[in-house]
Structure 1
Amino acid sequence: MTPAPPRIEPVTGRQSNLLVAVLAAAGIVVSLQQTLVVPLLPQFPRLLGSAPADTAWIVTATLLAGAVATPVVGRLADMVGKRRMLLVCLVVLVCGSVLGALSSSLVPLVVGRALQGLAAGVVPLGISLMRDLLPADRLGSATAMMSASLGVGGALGLPLSALVAQSLDWHVLFWAAGLVGAAVTGLVLTIVPESPQRAGGRFDGVGAVGISVALVALLVAVSKGASWGWGSPLTLSLFAVAVVAVLLWGRWELRTPQPLVDLRVSARRGLLLTNAASVVFAFSMFAMSLVYPQLLQLPEATGYGLGQSILVAGLVLAPGGLCMMAMSPVSARISAASGPRTTLLAGAVVVAAGYGLGAVFHGAVWQLLVSAVVISSGIGLAYGAMPSLIMAAAPLSQTAAANSLNNLMRAMGTSIASAVVGVLLAQLTVTSGGTALPSEAAFVITLVLGAAAALAAAAITVFLPRRDVQAAAEAVGVSVPATR
């Protein structure tokens, strides 16, 4: 017989509160990196003496590194320890921040941003640690807060970085990121214990290379297709490489005894549908981030632009990030009362309603603020429920890998949103002052797509299997009646 895995007593009381706070802080620090450089993108060609097409890699490198690192880190965490890999991610983030702070040219800055992107696995690792270390009655609210940290960091990062960009040297952003990252690393070392759960086995190096090739080819094609041309030989070649790599990788993963991603487990209905809903929902979530800052900053002469600064645009989105955090305990309460599937459905409907408001009313700053708050509140509800559904469907020894895969699905959804919205805003234009600008119709269509994607996620959620819904409810300390 296989010996039972070692167990430790759940972390309770004040220590559990500290553990949740530290892990959520780590998630916020990592998610801050996503919007850290956004206000500076128009200035980087001048600051670094590089072409705009080249400076775009400052964002693309972070996206690619995070996509590649997430499944690899998840598998390693299940093998060698979740806290250990969490610390590795944070140390790499600090190193990337310091390299960025010391950079004065493009190449070292891109390398630093790639290192920051390698820390993308922190949030799924934090959720997995919570499952292993916290009592069941504390788990629902804790994982909801950890999941919400993704949106909080992204929303707060925009106004903070805009403020720094307007009044201080841009290197300060990276020094600050490194300092905060180092502080959180120290807190993790001091407060967060290691999980006793281990999957063991060998690391699937071939699988890691295969999924890395597929993800890099796909995401480069998606992120650069608009500028290169969707029908260009380079773009089409990258898509072809991605398809072939995925097929070969899938064949290898099904045949190797210790795969990087257990596709048979991932094909379970609960995991498959939750991941599918995550892709669609992430598309919906990211559409707001692409549309509202532009609507706020376009000149009033267009008739629909609001003529605000990037700082004001960031401040309009910042309350949404706070709403995501505020909704995490609400998400946990709804899940405890009715199950996480109900919470995910409710969140999707609220997001769709928020986009509907934005599509109809977007002629004033306060209207966009209200719409952003409603959308963000729905995101907080939905993202708080997803970890419970994932952990209910995944084996205990694969929680980090399963949560990492779900995080990767969200990243894929945001990448697709960026590509689709980019095409819409580039193709549907008007001329103002001799400059081609996105038309009002382009923005409205994007908002309608955001609402439709949220409703599609709700439709997928309806088909989650009864067994996994019951297991997810029990994970947060309740039982769902059989008639629900």
Structure 2
Amino acid sequence: MSAALTGPPVRTGAVVPVLASAGITVALMQTLIIPVIPELPRLLNASAGSTAWAITATLLAAAVATPIMGRLGDMYGKRRMLLISIGLLITGSIVAALSSSLLPLVVGRALQGFAAGVIPLGISIMRDELPSERLGTATAQMSASLGVGGALGLPAAALLAENVSWHALFWVSAGLGIIMFGLVLRFVPESAVRSGGRFDVLGGVGLSVGLVSLLLAISQGGDWGWTSARVLGLFALAVVAILAWGWWERRTSEPLVDLRTTARPQVLLTNLASMVFGFAMFAMSLVVPQLLQMPKATGFGLGQSMLASGLVMGPSGLVMLLTAPLSAKISAARGPKITLMLGAVVVAAGYGLGSILMSSVWQILLVSLLIGAGIGLAYGAMPALIMSAVPVSETAAANSFNTLMRSIGTSVSSAVAGVILAQLTINLGAYTLPSENGFRVVLITGAAAALVALAIAACIPTRSTPTETPATAEAQTPATA
């Protein structure tokens, strides 16, 4: 097995499309199960609150796996950890596909979440292997795959859910995972750039406890009650665990996350902007499907099916992918800071337009395309900002931490949007539904978040000295592959 994971495959131009496809496959897991969420209580003979764990488990597992896989990739080989991550996705998909009750489904979804490290690992492999003239466009495409997979997953999952058994969702994801595993094994080389050292077990445990407590409180606060003892206790545990983790990371010689590097202004501000941008991005995923599927009897709903709403959202994912090369060109000409700021402006404009144009399908499509273009610009700039401020030996860990910041932003966005839509409602017969003003407030909140990201990005300092290139890093780092 070791030889299979570390043996050098033939290097071809397929590296970038293979890694980007792997990223899209992993990102598909975000929206894979959304079409069947309303049916899960009946299918699994469980309560609606219990079946929500099919989403929560993936969120928590991804938060834990992302920084840990990044650090292990820097230490033991990024391709090795990439293959292990895809292997977990395959395993989780098969477990979920074979499930007929809640527990194995949640276990399978958690295993799928552990594959979240694929995207930052892929970006780091690109930095190690690609020449500088190709790196910007390649990393922009890989970074954008996080949004692309989420956007394309909804119509694909809706199509399967409406025409075949819900188990097919997971058999298809297992098949995609097997294909990606084979392609990575064949076309993606293992880099000799490694940091070595020992894994910070205590740091991994501390960060995991802090993140799980924080995200569990955020994701379940609406159901458990924001002032309940359980939620307040989780928030308190998160604060204590993260402070203790920070104290430990500053004192250990081989930390899970080098906080001194993370505290550099360029890295710190980029991570903060990424978290706020993650908040802004996810508002679209929450509002657009609901607006499209809201009954026409409400006076503002468009009465579309889940499949139709997915097809409306799907093109935004393609726009993200097509915008990635443009993001790289702007970054090369003006710097990634300007690209990130431009992306924030476009997203803010999209949400502002969306708060006005809500009355027809073509208007929603236009808004989603505009927001998708802004996300493609911004997500393409983030890894460039991170990689220009950290040494090559810490690339995977730094990119993983940045991806984690985006995920925290999306989790907070989900909670905030849920509170807004639960407070601003209308009555339609026996049902209580979100009001038009509720959707409008969420969209305006998304625009405000994008403007906050713009303000943070404007403060990011511009580096005056170049960072190491892959070639110089290999010369400085003993080849341990």
Q: Is the 8 A contact 2:323 2:373 kept in 1?
A: yes
Q: Is the 8 A contact 1:335 1:473 kept in 2?
A: no
SS in 1 for 2:309: helix
Give the count of matched residue pairs: 462
Q: In structure 2, list runs of 5 or more residues that go unmatched.
A: 1-8, 471-481
Give the C-alpha shift of residue 471 in structure 1. 4.2
Give the C-alpha shift of residue 322 in structure 1. 0.3
SS in 2 for 1:308: coil
Q: Is the 8 A contact 1:16 1:134 kept in 2?
A: no
SS in 2 for 1:42: helix
One-letter amino acid of the structure 1 residue matched with residue 116 of structure 2: A
Q: Which whole-Å deviations, capped at 9, do the CAs of 1:327-377 have from their partners, x for residues lacking one?
A: 011111111111111111111111111111100110001000000000000
Return the alpha-carbon distance in structure 1 between the equivalents of residues 84 and 42 of structure 2.
34
Counterpart in the other structure of 2:286: 290
Counterpart in the other structure of 1:413: 409
Return the alpha-carbon distance in structure 2 between the equivalents of residues 277 and 215 of structure 1.
19
Counterpart in the other structure of 1:435: 431
Counterpart in the other structure of 2:306: 310
Counterpart in the other structure of 1:389: 385
Of 182, 195, 200, the residue aligned with 2:196 is 200
Return the alpha-carbon distance in structure 1 between the equivalents of residues 284 and 234 of structure 2.
28
Counterpart in the other structure of 1:144: 140
Give the C-alpha shift of residue 110 in structure 1. 0.3
Give the C-alpha shift of residue 16 in structure 1. 5.0
Return the alpha-carbon distance in structure 2 between the equivalents of residues 52 and 88 of structure 1.
32
Give the C-alpha shift of residue 17 in structure 1. 2.9
Give the C-alpha shift of residue 148 in structure 1. 1.1
SS in 1 for 2:433: strand
Return the alpha-carbon distance in structure 2 between the equivalents of residues 75 and 473 of structure 1.
19
Counterpart in the other structure of 1:327: 323
Runs of 4+ in structure 1 off by over 2 angstroms are 14-17, 470-475
One-letter amino acid of the structure 1 residue matched with residue 41 of structure 2: P
Instruction: Say if 2:21 is the partner of 1:22.
Output: no
One-letter amino acid of the structure 1 residue matched with residue 231 of structure 2: T
TM-score of the two chains, using structure 1 as the length reference = 0.94
Return the alpha-carbon distance in structure 1 between the equivalents of residues 361 and 196 of structure 2.
53
Instruction: Say if 2:347 is the partner of 1:336.
Output: no
Return the alpha-carbon distance in structure 2 between the equivalents of residues 216 and 431 of structure 1.
36
Instruction: Say if 2:46 is the partner of 1:63.
Output: no
SS in 2 for 1:17: coil
Counterpart in the other structure of 1:240: 236
Counterpart in the other structure of 1:190: 186
Of 252, 256, 262, the residue aligned with 2:252 is 256
Q: Is the 8 A contact 1:159 1:313 kept in 2?
A: yes
Counterpart in the other structure of 1:111: 107
Counterpart in the other structure of 2:342: 346
Give the C-alpha shift of residue 257 in structure 1. 0.7
Counterpart in the other structure of 1:426: 422
Q: Is the 8 A contact 2:57 2:110 kept in 1?
A: yes
SS in 2 for 1:467: coil
Return the alpha-carbon distance in structure 2 between the equivalents of residues 27 and 133 of structure 1.
17
Give the C-alpha shift of residue 264 in structure 1. 1.0
Identity %: 61
Q: Is the 8 A contact 1:331 1:343 kept in 2?
A: yes
Give the C-alpha shift of residue 474 in structure 1. 9.6
Of 156, 161, 184, the residue aligned with 1:160 is 156
SS in 1 for 2:427: strand
Q: Is the 8 A contact 1:389 1:472 kept in 2?
A: no
Give the C-alpha shift of residue 434 in structure 1. 2.4
Counterpart in the other structure of 1:467: 463
Counterpart in the other structure of 1:5: none
Return the alpha-carbon distance in structure 1 between the equivalents of residues 440 and 335 of structure 2.
34
Q: Is the 8 A contact 2:155 2:311 kept in 1?
A: yes
Return the alpha-carbon distance in structure 1 between the equivalents of residues 119 and 79 of structure 2.
12
Instruction: Say if 2:30 is the partner of 1:41.
Output: no
Q: Is the 8 A contact 2:391 2:468 kept in 1?
A: no
Q: In structure 1, list runs of 5 or more residues that go unmatched.
A: 1-10, 476-484
Give the C-alpha shift of residue 467 in structure 1. 1.4
Q: Which whole-Å deviations, capped at 9, do the CAs of 1:291-346 have from their partners, x for residues lacking one?
A: 01001111111111111111111011000000000001111111111111111111
Q: Which whole-Å deviations, capped at 9, do the CAs of 1:253-306 have from their partners, x for residues lacking one?
A: 111111111111110001000000000001000000000100111111111111
Of 129, 150, 174, the residue aligned with 1:178 is 174
Q: Is the 8 A contact 2:69 2:117 kept in 1?
A: yes
Return the alpha-carbon distance in structure 2 between the equivalents of residues 301 and 80 of structure 1.
58
SS in 2 for 1:401: helix
Return the alpha-carbon distance in structure 2 between the equivalents of residues 123 and 412 of structure 1.
16
One-letter amino acid of the structure 1 residue matched with residue 63 of structure 2: A
SS in 1 for 2:256: coil
Return the alpha-carbon distance in structure 2 between the equivalents of residues 364 and 247 of structure 1.
48
Counterpart in the other structure of 1:7: none
Q: Is the 8 A contact 2:93 2:112 kept in 1?
A: yes
Q: Is the 8 A contact 2:96 2:109 kept in 1?
A: yes
Counterpart in the other structure of 1:447: 443
One-letter amino acid of the structure 2 residue matched with residue 225 of structure 1: G
Instruction: Say if 2:84 is the partner of 1:88.
Output: yes
Instruction: Say if 2:125 is the partner of 1:129.
Output: yes
Return the alpha-carbon distance in structure 2 between the equivalents of residues 15 and 169 of structure 1.
40
Give the C-alpha shift of residue 15 in structure 1. 4.9
Return the alpha-carbon distance in structure 1 between the equivalents of residues 418 and 459 of structure 2.
31
Counterpart in the other structure of 2:475: none
Q: Is the 8 A contact 2:160 2:169 kept in 1?
A: yes
Return the alpha-carbon distance in structure 1 between the equivalents of residues 156 and 429 of structure 2.
31
Counterpart in the other structure of 2:477: none
Give the C-alpha shift of residue 221 in structure 1. 0.4
Q: Which whole-Å deviations, capped at 9, do the CAs of 1:127-186 have from their partners, x for residues lacking one?
A: 000000000000000001101111111111100111111110011111110011001100
Give the C-alpha shift of residue 466 in structure 1. 1.9
One-letter amino acid of the structure 2 residue matched with residue 40 of structure 1: V
SS in 2 for 1:436: strand
Counterpart in the other structure of 2:46: 50
Instruction: Say if 2:72 is the partner of 1:76.
Output: yes
Return the alpha-carbon distance in structure 1 between the equivalents of residues 85 and 196 of structure 2.
20
One-letter amino acid of the structure 2 residue matched with residue 313 of structure 1: S
Q: Is the 8 A contact 2:30 2:150 kept in 1?
A: yes
